[in-house]
Amino acid sequence: MSKKSGHKISRKFAAYPRLNPLGVGKDISAADLIDQVMLAYNGGRLREASQLLAKKMLPRDGFIGMSLTGALTPAGLGKSCLIPLMKGGYVDWIISTGANLYHDLHFGLDMQLHSGSPFLDDVVLHRDGVIRIYDVLFDYNVLLDTDAFVREVIQGPEFQRPMGTDEFHHLLGKYVAARGKKLGLKDSSVLATAYECGIPIFTSSPGDSSIGMNVAAMAMRGSALLPDVNRDVNQTAAIVYHAKSTGHTSSVWILGGGSPKNFMLQTEPQIQEVLGIQEKGHDYFLQVTDARPDTGGLSGATPAEAVSWGKVDPDKLPDSVVCYTDSTIALPLLTAYVLSRVKPRKLKRLYDHRDAILDVVKQKYLQTGTVTKVLTSRKIAKRSSSVGMKT
């Protein structure tokens, strides 16, 4: 090969490092394993996700919103991963399915879950009063006792009014933390940790879990507790606006997809499209999912598609990472990487400032928003009807 042709090849691959890994040693750390060995396919995407977190999402006090779907807490990932991330200041606010928060209560109340098998006879399990979540097993009484705890707590006077789900989870977390203290537990519950760290936790579908089912049952006994979903929509948008308007980045860390993914991403269209406030979209997008993009479902929708909605800043799209793997594989590795590569950050305690954060975006909306069609700097396609036009 001539020097000339060799020079052309080197220029051709100048942006791409040589794929030439070292052998795996017995003492290699998880972070070094990711950096040095996971070089291609979804291993490569996991490396990119880890480095995106450490080098762009977390520095300069960037805001990190995490969404949780899939049965993560019953698999123990609340205790093993989420709590260390929360206490270390690596996650600032959360949107979760209600189910993850419900099953988190089992750990906070020191109930027993067991590693089992996905190949057991479910008819026999039902007869024996055993609940199965794939290969996680627990006694039916775990559900009954958790339900009773929720009902007993929410009959208290502080719960007898409408409230955002962040406030509801904060109050519930207070009681879980108190019970954990009596039981001698430490770092056992995501809800208790969120209460202690001032981390707001929202759920996008309050009625879609056993917590919501118990809230609904107590309504028939005269409870006035009611999830304020309007507050949730505006509060989550206000958190994002607070980040961006104070010169910080806003990043989304999405585990799975579903309703929590959309609830987190819709904060930007809420700011731009509905409230009429100038904005460009989230700065960084990291998703771990097994959902395909070609079926049209939100879980598999790509960050490129999110750009078209204004959910992600188009200028930051090249930094977006989607890793197609199981969250139970990716989350422990991402957690180990971040704890190894990034120093703990000061807690933002966004819950403590929730009213002030919301008031800023409310005042901005009342100044610039409108009931009629919102004016925008984006190019608008020709109207297909006269709906919404002034007459």
Known catalytic residues are 311
Output the six-digit token pair for 243.
């980040």
N- to C-terminal Cα separation, the chain: 74
| Residue 375, SS3 per DSSP | coil
Output the six-digit token pair for 234.
């505006």
Q: DSSP for 147-200?
A: HHHHHHHHTSGGGSSEE-HHHHHHHHHHHHHHHHHHHT--S--HHHHHHHHT--
Contact (CB, 8 A) for 270 and 230: no
Q: Phi-psi category of 140—alpha, beta or left, where left has phi over 0 and alpha has psi -120 to 50?
A: alpha
C-alpha–C-alpha distance, residues 33 and 14, integer Å: 24
The answer to whether the Cα torsion of 69, 75, 81, 86 is positive or negative is positive
| Long-range pairs of 26-34 with CB within 8 A, sequence gap ≥ 24 | 29/336, 29/340, 30/332, 30/333, 30/336, 30/337, 30/340, 31/336, 31/337, 31/340, 31/341, 34/333, 34/337
Query: Kind and range of the H or E element at 346?
Result: none
State residue 383 phi and psi, 5-degree precision: -65, 140
| Residue 13, SS3 per DSSP | coil
What type of residue sits at position 38? M
C-alpha–C-alpha distance, residues 233 and 263, integer Å: 8
